[in-house]
Structure 1
Amino acid sequence: MTRLFTVPLAGAFALLLAAAGCGGSSTHDSTGDASVTIRIPDPGNEGLLALGKKDGSLAKALAVVHAKVAWTGSSGPFAPAAQELGADKLDVAQGSITSAIAALAQHPGFKLFAQIAPNKTGEGILVRKGSPIASVRDLAGRKVAVNKGGTAEYLLLKALASAGVPAGRVTRVYLNPAQTAPVFNSGQVDAWAVWSTYSIPEIASTGARFVATGGQIGSQNYSVWAVRNGFADAHPAVVQAFSRYLHDAGVRQAQNPASYVNVFTDAGPQAVSGTARRLTIQDLAQTAAPDGIRPSNVTDFDAVARFFAEQKITPTAVNVRPYVLSLTGSGS
């Protein structure tokens, strides 16, 4: 069932009724602009936004609210994207709730408007083929690569807590995820806390394996979509339309994931083939569609924030609630 979103911003209710076509009136943004540009990181060669870019479906959905897309930069870690949101260089971006909490502790220039359920199989603690590490307990006395204050550090600390291993027994090696593979494969670290963007290529090309997955350690690492504060305030109808598109496209992606792989090219460094393609399709099939943020999700966000504070990742537990656009759904 398609889910409609409402954005609880001042004056948004009447606007969203117009966006839905009530009363036969045409849709306009709250500013009255004839055209609003929403800046989104370029999605590359994979995923629902890649196909939406190629087939024009995203442009069509946004045109209903007199908006158009400007593809800016490329998708990547959320930490730099959060800074770009705060600096008015980007309007929306996707990341993890863990990275969002770390960013909110420093640069609260955005709000969260959609969530994707935690990936239970594509992220976790990766070890090399033939590694003697057979369980999380075996990480004691070892070095594990993580990105600081984000998904990887959360996954490692969550795994250690679930296994009763004191965090101080493991050495965290802070690395940029895009630069970690050579360090991991050369044996300079014993394991890598990682998500599907990087785990799939490693598993496919080297035979690496998870010693623990997100599902096995009880991860609450939602993926989230964030919107720049100023954009959310000025253009709620565009946030509405973009949210609906993400949800509907996410449903289609889960039903036919192969269509969302190698969207623009099946050759070159951006393309995947063989085992990597099979694992990517499998991962997309298991990825939940983006949806509104409900009270139960916020409760989980709070749990992650408390965990980060307990683990000294943030000085105190970040109160996520003021930074959530409580997008509630009504079926149609």
Structure 2
Amino acid sequence: MNVRQPALALTALIAALSLAACSSSSSGSARADAGGSGATVTVRIPDGGNSGVLALGRKDGSLAKALAKVHAKVAWTGTAGAFAPAAQELDANALDFAEGSITSAIAALAQTPGFKLFSAVDPDELGEGILVKKDSGINSVSDLVGKKVAVWHGGTSEYLLLKALQQNHIPADKVKRVYLQPNQVGPVFNSGQVDAWSTWATYSVPALANSGARFLTTGGQVGSDNYAVWAVRNGFATQHPEVVKALYAYLHDAGLKQQQNPAAYLNVKTSSGPEAVSPAQRAVELPIDKALGTAQPIGATQLAHFATVAQFFAAQKITKGVFDVKPYVIDIDTTTASAK
């Protein structure tokens, strides 16, 4: 990978490793539960927060009910966020499942293949993209030449920026990439220290609703192949395939319900406070959530798109050579498990 802003990259790595170490120290009972024959398997999943299928599944008990059928229960660990630290936790046996993007998964697998992928959701064409301020005067991707764009290294945001530049025949080195952790970018973007921000819906929705931002281009407009993917720790997948199937079935069924009634999956725990989705954010997010697909098995179509991403990352020198994702994919047999 190209190394820019090494101090920030080192800080992010130290933070991720510290998170993995903390999670490891608190997960001994989870591993013990999963050990003995006939014992209840404890499944460590990042907390889904206040919105989404995991949040509602936690509140109404539907996820617990689905997993109980295969003698499993959930232990919520930390919070869902960027996939890079979650991938390190999977590798360190501090986490069993996590969701991320295929771009982040390829970057992580190319370094430490400690997990496999078992499900994919079609790329988010509306909620991912490059943000600029409404009054920035930046009206086309070509206007980014000579500008600073905030990205997260080797994942969705860097991928979207590079795709947009390629689409417009702009050499990547004509735009300055500023590498920041995703939760650091908001204040930097709002203060004008960067000119644009390449990101995904978790961060684009509040920025669009509250910060006077607009999309310069979206994932759909750049032809993104950035599927969302679900990952499972290698050892867990080997020991408990029935739990992987049960979680997949829950995610698939819950995703279909979310498409039909996305409003029911917002502000699941609270409608006030810092976790809450504001009315302005809700107006932005509902069309995005309604357009999203649901969890599906990873088949030939998905693998072809994954290969395209891997080839792109190699060409852009994000990875060293083309990484073959196929050996790290689980073929889910959905007929043997159901979340109903």
Q: What letter corresponds to residue 93 of structure 1 in structure 2? A: A
Deviation digits for residues 9-48 of structure 1 (CA, Å, limit 9, x no counterpart): xxxxxxxxxxxxxxxxxxxx99742311110001110000
Deviates more, 1:127-136 or 1:52-61: 127-136
* Corresponding residue for residue 256 of structure 1: 261
Q: What letter corresponds to residue 57 of structure 1 in structure 2? A: S
| Residue 310 of structure 2 corresponds to residue 305 of structure 1 | yes
- Report how far residue 329 of structure 1 moved: 5.3
Picking from 56, 62, 67, the partner of 1:57 is 62
Picking from 227, 232, 237, the partner of 2:237 is 232
Q: What letter corresponds to residue 144 of structure 1 in structure 2? A: V
| Residue 158 of structure 2 corresponds to residue 153 of structure 1 | yes
TM-score (norm 1): 0.89
* Corresponding residue for residue 245 of structure 1: 250
Check whether the contact 1:113–1:225 (CA below 8 A) recurs between aligned residues: yes
Q: What letter corresponds to residue 125 of structure 1 in structure 2? A: I
Deviation digits for residues 81-136 of structure 1 (CA, Å, limit 9, x no counterpart): 00000000000000000000000011100000000000001011100121111111
* Corresponding residue for residue 273 of structure 1: 278
Deviation digits for residues 38-89 of structure 1 (CA, Å, limit 9, x no counterpart): 1000111000010000000000000100110000111011000000000000
Picking from 185, 188, 191, the partner of 2:196 is 191
Unaligned runs of 5+ in 1: 1-28
Once residues 119 and 36 of structure 2 are traced to their aligned partners in structure 1, the CA distance between those partners, rounded to angstroms, is: 23
Q: What letter corresponds to residue 245 of structure 1 in structure 2? A: Y
Check whether the contact 1:294–1:328 (CA below 8 A) recurs between aligned residues: no
* Corresponding residue for residue 175 of structure 2: 170
* Corresponding residue for residue 18 of structure 2: none
Higher relative contact order (CA 8 A, sep 6+): 1
Unaligned runs of 5+ in 2: 1-33
Once residues 134 and 105 of structure 1 are traced to their aligned partners in structure 2, the CA distance between those partners, rounded to angstroms, is: 36
1:107-118 correspondence to structure 2 within 5 Å: 107-118=112-123
* Corresponding residue for residue 185 of structure 2: 180
- Report how far residue 281 of structure 1 moved: 2.0
Once residues 161 and 83 of structure 1 are traced to their aligned partners in structure 2, the CA distance between those partners, rounded to angstroms, is: 30
Q: What letter corresponds to residue 258 of structure 1 in structure 2? A: A
Check whether the contact 1:119–1:222 (CA below 8 A) recurs between aligned residues: yes
Check whether the contact 1:155–1:219 (CA below 8 A) recurs between aligned residues: yes
Q: What letter corresponds to residue 78 of structure 1 in structure 2? A: F
Check whether the contact 1:42–1:72 (CA below 8 A) recurs between aligned residues: yes
Once residues 54 and 175 of structure 2 are traced to their aligned partners in structure 1, the CA distance between those partners, rounded to angstroms, is: 38
* Corresponding residue for residue 215 of structure 1: 220
Change (3 A) 1:161 1:136: same
SS at match of 1:180: helix
TM-score (norm 2): 0.87
Deviates more, 1:278-287 or 1:253-262: 278-287
* Corresponding residue for residue 205 of structure 1: 210
Check whether the contact 1:30–1:235 (CA below 8 A) recurs between aligned residues: no
Q: What letter corresponds to residue 136 of structure 1 in structure 2? A: V
Q: What letter corresponds to residue 233 of structure 2 in structure 1? A: R
Deviation digits for residues 214-237 of structure 1 (CA, Å, limit 9, x no counterpart): 000000000000000000000000
Deviation digits for residues 127-149 of structure 1 (CA, Å, limit 9, x no counterpart): 01211111111111111000001
Q: What letter corresponds to residue 148 of structure 1 in structure 2? A: H
- Report how far residue 279 of structure 1 moved: 1.5
CA-atom RMSD in angstroms: 1.5
Once residues 89 and 114 of structure 2 are traced to their aligned partners in structure 1, the CA distance between those partners, rounded to angstroms, is: 9
Aligned residues: 304
Check whether the contact 1:31–1:234 (CA below 8 A) recurs between aligned residues: no
Percent of aligned pairs sharing the same letter: 60
* Corresponding residue for residue 48 of structure 1: 53
Picking from 290, 296, 302, the partner of 1:291 is 296
Deviation digits for residues 145-185 of structure 1 (CA, Å, limit 9, x no counterpart): 00001100000000100111110110100001101011111
Change (3 A) 1:53 1:329: closer
Q: What letter corresponds to residue 120 of structure 1 in structure 2? A: E
Once residues 117 and 207 of structure 1 are traced to their aligned partners in structure 2, the CA distance between those partners, rounded to angstroms, is: 28
Once residues 315 and 55 of structure 1 are traced to their aligned partners in structure 2, the CA distance between those partners, rounded to angstroms, is: 45
Check whether the contact 2:125–2:220 (CA below 8 A) recurs between aligned residues: yes
Check whether the contact 1:116–1:289 (CA below 8 A) recurs between aligned residues: yes
* Corresponding residue for residue 138 of structure 1: 143
Picking from 88, 96, 99, the partner of 2:93 is 88
Picking from 56, 73, 83, the partner of 2:78 is 73
Check whether the contact 2:132–2:197 (CA below 8 A) recurs between aligned residues: yes
Picking from 111, 114, 128, the partner of 2:133 is 128
Once residues 318 and 270 of structure 2 are traced to their aligned partners in structure 1, the CA distance between those partners, rounded to angstroms, is: 40
